[in-house]
Structure 1
Amino acid sequence: MQFKMIQPDDCHLHIRSGMALKSIIGMTVKQMGRAIIMPNLNPPITNVTQACAYKAEILSALPKGNRFNPLMTLYLTDNTTSKDIQEAIDHDVIAVKLYPAGATTNSDSGVTNIAKLYPTLESMQKLGMPLLVHGEVTRSEVDIFDREAVFIDEVLNQVVSDFPELKIVFEHITTKNAVDFVLASHHKIAATVTPHHLLANRNDMLVNGIRPHYFCLPVLKRRNPHQIALLDVVTSGNVKFFLGTDSAPHMKTDKESACGCAGIFNAHCAIELYVMVFEHQNALDKLEGFASKFGADFYNLPYNKKIITLNKKDWTIPASYSFAHSNIVPFMATKTLSWKLV
């Protein structure tokens, strides 16, 4: 059995830099025609000069003849100006990413008070620059499992109300609250959903011992109602939800430590994971829209011309892959998958 579809886009991807980038970029370009590249390097990509240099580094790391297109973003800080936004548009930067300060990996330079950036958001709204949102509050008194829901109530509702024409992507949503918010919002509000939030929940991370390679932010939630809500909406064919892996590589030693970092690496088999999800939900006919069309439509991009093929074939994910000068444990390591990209 085979399944064919338009080559997908990854609308949310971390690929690091240097040797780490060179170690893993080949996995993504085998699957994706384009990817929206996250800017939370250390130091972060906060201006056009840095974005252009990072894009050049990515292109230089591609296999010879590969036509993968990295779509660059800027990291929003308390000091990002309207001028920065105009320069970004002039240099084909596709979006700006909001990290609340301290929300996740390399987010210490993130936004401390979104209200102070209203002039910048106004420019983004006027110029049509999308805002990509890591939607969590970071106050210590808020339970980590509630951070996404509280962010909707305290921040996102107000931003959407104050900037009704601003395009917003609610990244890597994890809760029924987020699903309901996007469904109730106007057509310029969309969301990405990762394979790990569709295939795993907090039991996978915590039952019978802590599994650090399932730790990500936003953290995995309950199966019911949250994981089920994600599964239902992405396989419904709703155009407001599209593919974004949030693949986030970290060395094995950095994950398996006394203070393990957040991030799940899934670029090695992202499309196979999504195919398994949609097949299990009896919705394979809805996958091409989710993976290859809805994100492109939101960003006003043409569909990729290449057609990819997946075979119905069992294969086992390796226990680890080489990563820079170390190794990395992939999502679902040693598990058997039932689809394989040709």
Structure 2
Amino acid sequence: MQELTITRPDDWHLHLRDGAALKAVLPHTVRQFARAIIMPNLKPPVRTVADAAAYRDRILTAVPAGQSFEPLMTLYLTDNTSAEEIVAAKASPFVTAVKYYPAGATTNSDFGVTDMSNCDRVFDVMQQVDLPLLLHGEVTDPAVDVFDREKAFIEKHLIPLKQRFPNLRVVLEHITTTEAVEFVLATPQIAATITPQHLLFSRNILFKGGIRPHFYCLPILKRERHRQALLQAATSGNPKFFLGTDSAPHPRDSKESDCGCAGCYSALHAMALYAEAFESADALDKLEAFASFYGPDFYQLPRNTEQITLTKTTWRVPDEVPFVEAGLVPLWAGQELTWQLA
């Protein structure tokens, strides 16, 4: 196959930041994706419908002239989120979901939930009005090994949550383990996003030839058997699994430091990366549904009607792209890829 034309995809998990950073990275997403679920972990976070409206306006202002893009906004769940705010979010034409971060789990998560049971009143209203809950599915207990934190979250928090609120629509974001795949397959009203890095790499890449900070993300890359399980899920044709890049821009000096930030930047070349992964499993025929159909179906939104084309063309991922006052290193920088957006 030398060319692949598919329905224009959407990114169901995206970090855009704000200000100059937003303006630097948004064009990369807009080239490929019609819509994206926008993460709310700014400083301060997007906690209200009014916050989301203001952030959405800033995003739309940054969209390059002549191009179309729809930001799907989310609210940042805190211990103090009110039921009234959930009702207002559901009534809003642009708030699509509510995002749960465990406090301290990842970038700008200091405002996150300290105890999931604190939010039961909110989950009950979300279930009633049918507003999806997006989960960063990791525990933050320092006694739990970093490679086991997703599995522990499912056992300690997610299973009880679904028992208490069986009709709550949930997206377990950026899944990384066999256990997550199995749970999603076995549980009604839950879906999962999968990133390109978790489809392409095991944790070995973090230490290949030395510490590789630009492959460091949270949840962290796992063993090869988990990568294989994710690849099988993504290419299976099961509508519970769909595209979410979790693309997260950090300047080079913040990644290459004594306490490097977590996050991989894939917005530049996301669809090429996914094509590489799907081709490795001889499943390019499954890419369109994963990238373009299953996400909108789960979120009860119409599928896109435009198309994009990927061509079989060898090219080299740049070592760096411009970003604010420093460079931004894209995922797999310097690597030759064999698919490219036309």
Q: TM-score, normalised by structure 2?
A: 0.99
Rounded Cα–Cα distance in structure 2 between residues aligned with 1:63 and 1:304: 20
Q: Which residue of 1 aligns with 2:221?
A: 220
Q: Deviations over 1:251-291 (max 9, x none)?
A: 00000000001000000000011111111111111111100
| CA distance in 1 between partners of 2:209 and 2:29 (Å) | 32
Instruction: Measure how far apart 1:324 and its partner are.
Output: 1.1
Q: Deviations over 1:73-123 (max 9, x none)?
A: 000000001101011112230000000000000001000011111111000
> Match of 1:33, as an amino acid?
A
Aligned to 1:119: 121
Which letter does structure 1 place at the counterpart of 2:66? G
TM-fit CA distance, 1:65:
2.2
Question: Given residue 118 of structure 1, which amino acid in structure 2 is its aligned partner?
Answer: D
SS in 2 for 1:71: strand
| 1:330 is the counterpart of 2:341 | no
Matched to 1:116, the amino acid is N
Q: Partners of 1:41 and 1:247 in 2: how far apart? A: 15
Unaligned runs of 5+ in 1: none
**CA separation in 1, counterparts of 2:319 and 2:273?**
17
Post-superposition, which runs of at least 4 consecutive aligned residues in structure 1 deviate over 3 A? none
RMSD of Structure 2 on Structure 1 (CA): 0.6
Q: Could you say which residue in structure 1 is the equivalent of 2:103?
A: 101
User: What percentage of residue pairs aligned between the two structures are identical?
Assistant: 54
Q: How many residues align?
A: 340
Give the stretch that moved more between structures: 9-18 or 206-215: 206-215
Letter in 1 for 2:182: D
Q: Which amino acid aligns with 2:266?
A: N
Which residues of 2 match residues 29-68 of structure 1 at below 5 A?
Answer: 29-68=30-69
How do residues 173-188 of structure 1 correspond to structure 2 at under 5 angstroms? 173-186=175-188, 188=189
* Structure 2 Cα separation of the partners of residues 15 and 286 of structure 1: 28
How far residue 142 of structure 1 moved from its aligned partner, in angstroms, is: 0.5
TM-score by length of 1: 0.99
Letter paired with 1:59: L
**Structure 2, unaligned stretches of length 5 or more?**
none
Q: How far does the alpha carbon of each residue in 1:36-80 deviate from its partner, in whole angstroms, 9 at most, with x for none?
A: 000001111001111000000000000112211000000000000
1:316 paired to 2:322: no
Give the equivalent residue in structure 2 for 1:260: 260
TM alignment of 1:101-250, pairs within 5 A: 101-186=103-188, 188-224=189-225, 226-250=226-250
Displacement of 1:208 in angstroms is: 2.7
Deviations 1:126-179 (A, max 9, x none): 000000000000011000000000000000000011001000000000000100
Partner SS for 1:111: coil
State how far apart, in whole Å, the 1-side matches of 2:286 and 2:252 are: 35
In 1: Cα distance, 2:325 partner to 2:23 partner: 11
